[in-house]
Structure 1
């Protein structure tokens, strides 16, 4: 006869919390903030709605913990290295984003807190990319254009499911986008 190891109360609590967060991520990603309810999250997690409130306090706090910040690419030593990093991040984004990130993106146009979160994350990304472009004219503007171009491709592919983006191989999208990002990373040479 095999015995299962005794799980402490703290271990069971962490497992329940993780299950609730996982269910919340899935529902926020699928329905956005407005259409996701505490009852739906609780049902998906197999717990009582009161337990969700006990663990997280409110739907807003649950949302805040369920979503995760967009990754900030580290600054590269040169424009080519930076473009390589951005293209690698695009490959990850086209391959599928974490549900928390999708939830945040889906909710950013209808929920002020989600918009603030995305704005801050994009600001950090822009600062990081801009820091890698010290020799370029208008490094902050160039960085913002690079970051938002990738955001637009990600939204078109992941959230809107534009057929032309969904059907194109990630390598083809990257090959077409790379020269635009490279042009933004290179200093303007005046004749």
Structure 2
């Protein structure tokens, strides 16, 4: 049975996906500053002009490569919220999506990447703050929870701190649980 012919639009989407995949890998490995359009094009097997045609600039390519939608909070009480937050830490200590790694690696050296991270973390803080019980300073508590989990993720994923790399996500979550519970106001 002959294979169906791919349309021009199908080929364009496939090329765009290949470019984005290569960009995610390179931004995750090298960060924004050290990744070039030429390197992305070479990794994707296309001409650098095609990358620019599809994405306009390195900044726009980066923005598309790191775009992701965080999972919504579904907790109905504080204990469930703590469980969900600590479960998300297990995901963050596993294989993070390359877009997330790219953003994390770039956030300290690139103002626009920092703005994207700030916006993303701000949405997480808002969601967690809204899910906290009528506690004092819910936004501050949420910010402390988010940055504590971010710090653990950075220590594990980017810095490769041996104690964090050697411990299981379950052990790390168990040790963090009392702190997260206290911040969430469930203790």
Provide the TM-score with structure 2 as the length reference: 0.96
Alpha-carbon distance in 1 for matches of 2:178, 2:74 = 19
2:32–2:62 Cα contact (<8 Å) kept: yes
Task: Flag structure 1 segments of 5+ consecutive residues without an equivalent.
Answer: none
Match of 2:39 in 1: 40
Query: Shift of residue 3 of structure 1?
Result: 2.6
What aligned pairs does 1:88-107 form with structure 2 within 5 A after superposition?
88-107=87-106
Query: Shift of residue 71 of structure 1?
Result: 1.5
Partner of 1:160: helix, strand, or coil? Answer: coil
Task: For residues 87-108 of structure 1, give each alpha carbon's deviation from its aligned partner in whole angstroms, at most 9, with x where no partner exists.
Answer: 1110110112100011001100
Match of 1:52 in 2: 51
What aligned pairs does 1:10-21 form with structure 2 within 5 A after superposition?
10-21=9-20
Partner of 2:90: helix, strand, or coil? Answer: helix
1:33–1:111 Cα contact (<8 Å) kept: yes
RMSD value, Cα: 1.3
Task: Flag structure 2 segments of 5+ consecutive residues without an equivalent.
Answer: none
Match of 2:108 in 1: 109
Q: How many residues align?
A: 187
What aligned pairs does 1:1-191 form with structure 2 within 5 A after superposition?
2-69=1-68, 71=70, 73-74=72-73, 76-186=75-185
Query: Shift of residue 72 of structure 1?
Result: 5.0
Alpha-carbon distance in 1 for matches of 2:68, 2:176 = 24
Partner of 2:10: helix, strand, or coil? Answer: helix
2:93–2:156 Cα contact (<8 Å) kept: yes
Alpha-carbon distance in 2 for matches of 1:126, 1:59 = 29
Question: After TM superposition, which residue ranges in structure 1, 4 or more long, deviate above 4 angstroms?
Answer: none
